[in-house]
Each structure stands twice: as structure tokens, then as C-alpha cells.
Copies of this chain bind each other. A is one copy, B any other.
Amino acid sequence: MTKPEKSTSTPIGAIGEFGLIDRLTEGLYDASDSTIKGIGDDAAVLDHADRRTLVSTDMLIEGIHFDLAYTPLKHLGYKAVMVNLSDIYAMNGMAEQITVSLALSNRFSVEAVEELYSGIKLACDQYQVDIVGGDTTSSMQGLVISITAMGSAARDQVVLRSGAQEGDLLCVSGDLGAAYLGLQLLEREKQIYLEAPDVQPDLEDQQYLVQRQLRPLARKDVILRLAELSIVPKAMIDLSDGLASDLMHIARQSGVGAEIQEDWVPIHEEAKLMAMQFKMDPITCALSGGEDYELLFAVDHRHEDALHDLDDISVVGSVKPKEEGIYLLSSAGKRHEIIAQGWKHFNEGGQPSNS
């Protein structure tokens, strides 16, 4: 379990908003050629030249999207950037800039915010993305992180969700369901900790699952490798809500059906073991668990051989006519209709739930 506060604890009020911004943005430099003017004016100035500009935004709220009881602030900052960059890659673009807005309650010290920001900066460094603006303010309660990511793609290579056609292959990167199981594990350990604070958490054997939840990686590498092979997907989405829900977006917007082969869905060994511990079906975790931030894409079947040579890309099914619907073909050869079960932040009672 981690604490939001570190040992040195300077109240934000002691250095003020401008002082805080100065400390957070110290040493920032602009890595991308398309950043003409970053932080320090009314707006950032970008030049995406003859490419198209891509924009996506995500807001993370303490108590809804993350729990600081088991989320280290540095990891949180890193993940907040990843979930935004992931959306830009899902358009077949390169992420180049972000703006970062933070609302902080007075429970956060300057050092805590610096820790959060160190994760944001690390993500930006690794992905060569510039922080070009933002807003830092106080909140009445809890932490709010709102990030907008920008990037660009060649005019004729932007990939929407709507281009999938019958006969296309459906592919995913990486493996699915692990981030969801990592979350279940962290929630279980939190409960154990709350009931018996002396019991040491037993997460050593589940490093992979915990990492997948706390420190997802946006798949820039997949976009770069597809470009090297001159493969332009016909439709693409990032897997934030789970394969079922995200596949449904592609199918609906493309006006097609889809078949997923249960046996072809990549699930990590640790995820399979943990699913069984939780008495869950691994394929259910892969279909309905969110936050893997892998890419799901439809690609012309003529690329099949090229795709087979790519590590870490799995063909999981194919695009079908609309009237066939969206279904899973089980190991036993049975068809199961796929229904969306994404993340839901508003439920009947108004309380957050991740069902």
C-alpha cells in the first residue's frame, strides 16, 4: 500500500500556483518538431504541416478511476498519459503533444505533485511527447487529472473505426484481460490490508498483472511496425473498455458483423491462473475486462502472411456480414453472441462501478 504523501511535505500554498507550475515544468524541453511554442503563452502553437491533427482527451477522477491506496502517484501520472496517447495511436497517428490539467486538494503536498508529475514526464520522455500547456488549480476534494493529447497522421493514413469490411482479419496486439485481473488483485489486497494491516501483501508472483493495471504501455511500437510493413489498417480502436465493447464500436460504425475465435484470443498464463483463482472464465476477462490499452484493428486479409511474422500481434477473428452479428466461436465450436459490458461510471444508485 502506498501513501499519497512523502516524508518531506511542503504545502502548495507555501509556493503558490505559479511557484508550483515553475517547479513542475522545470527542465521541460520540446522534443517534437511540430511544437513551435509550448508552455508560457495564452495557447500552445503547433505546426502539423500537411498532416492532419488528431485530438483526444480523458479525465481521471480520484475515487472513480483510481485509488491512491494502491496506486503510486508516479505510476498514476504515467498511466494518465498512456491512456491518452493510446487514443492517438488508435488513429494510426503519432502522438506529439499533451496538455495536463490538475486539480489538487490541500491534502497533496508539493512533493506529492512532483511525484505525480515525474510519471507524466517519464511517459512523455519515453514517447517523445511534449507537455505544451495545462492548468493547475485547487479542488475541494481529491485529485482530478485531465489530459488532452494531440498528434498527427498523414492525410491518407488516418484510420477511423468505420472502415472494416467483410473478409478483413481482426487483430489485437499483446494479450488481454491482465489489467482487469491486476485490478481485482489490488482490490483484494486492499481489503485484506484494511481488515488486517499487519499481513504483508502477496503480489510478488503477480508482478505482470499488477504492472498491466498500474503501468499500461500505449502501443506506439505497433503503429511504427505496421508502417514499416506498409500496412494501413482499415479500422482501429484501442482496448480501453474490453474487447467486446470496443469490437462493437468497430462493428457498428463499419456496419458489419464479426467473429472472434475463442482459442485465438491471447491471454497471458498469469492471467489464466488468476482468473481461475477468482473463479472467472479467462475469456470473460479478456472480453469484458478493460484497461489493457492494446490495439484492435481490422486489416485486409492479403496481409495475413506479413502479420504472422509480427511478434505480439494475434489474428483473433474476421469481419462478417452485418446480419451474422457479433459472436464468439468457442473452443467447442459453439456461437455465443457478444454483448458489450464496458466500464460504467454511472449506475442506478449514482455510485461508481466498474462492472
* A interface residues with partner B (beta carbon < 8 Å): 11-14, 16-17, 20, 36-37, 40-48, 50, 52-59, 61-65, 86-88, 90-91, 93, 97, 99, 101, 103, 105-106, 132-135, 137-142, 144, 146, 148-151, 153, 155, 158, 160-162, 236-238, 253, 344-352
* CB neighbours of A345 from chain B (8 A): 17, 137-138
Within the assembled complex, what's the spacing in Å between the Cα atoms of A148 and B150? 11
Contact of B142 with A91 in the complex, beta carbons under 8 Å:
no
Within the assembled complex, what's the spacing in Å between the Cα atoms of A144 and B65? 15
Contact of A140 with B63 in the complex, beta carbons under 8 Å:
yes
Given contacts A55-B99, A56-B43, whether A350 and B106 have CB atoms under 8 Å apart is yes
Given contacts A11-B350, A87-B43, A350-B12, whether A52 and B36 have CB atoms under 8 Å apart is yes
* CB neighbours of A97 from chain B (8 A): 55
Chain B, residue nearest A56 (CB): B43
Chain B, residue nearest A135 (CB): B59
* CB neighbours of A133 from chain B (8 A): 55-57
* Partner of A135 from B13, B55, B58 at Cβ < 8 Å: B58
Question: Distance in Å from the Cβ of A302 to the closest Cβ of chain B?
Answer: 25
Contact of A42 with B87 in the complex, beta carbons under 8 Å:
yes
Within the assembled complex, what's the spacing in Å between the Cα atoms of A150 and B97? 13
Contact of B160 with A41 in the complex, beta carbons under 8 Å:
yes
* CB neighbours of A236 from chain B (8 A): 42
Contact of A148 with B348 in the complex, beta carbons under 8 Å:
no
Within the assembled complex, what's the spacing in Å between the Cα atoms of A36 and B13? 43
Chain B, residue nearest A351 (CB): B106
Within the assembled complex, what's the spacing in Å between the Cα atoms of A101 and B65? 14
Smallest CB-CB A-B distances: 4 pairs? A106-B350, A43-B56, A146-B146, A42-B90
Question: Distance in Å from the Cβ of A296 to the closest Cβ of chain B?
Answer: 11
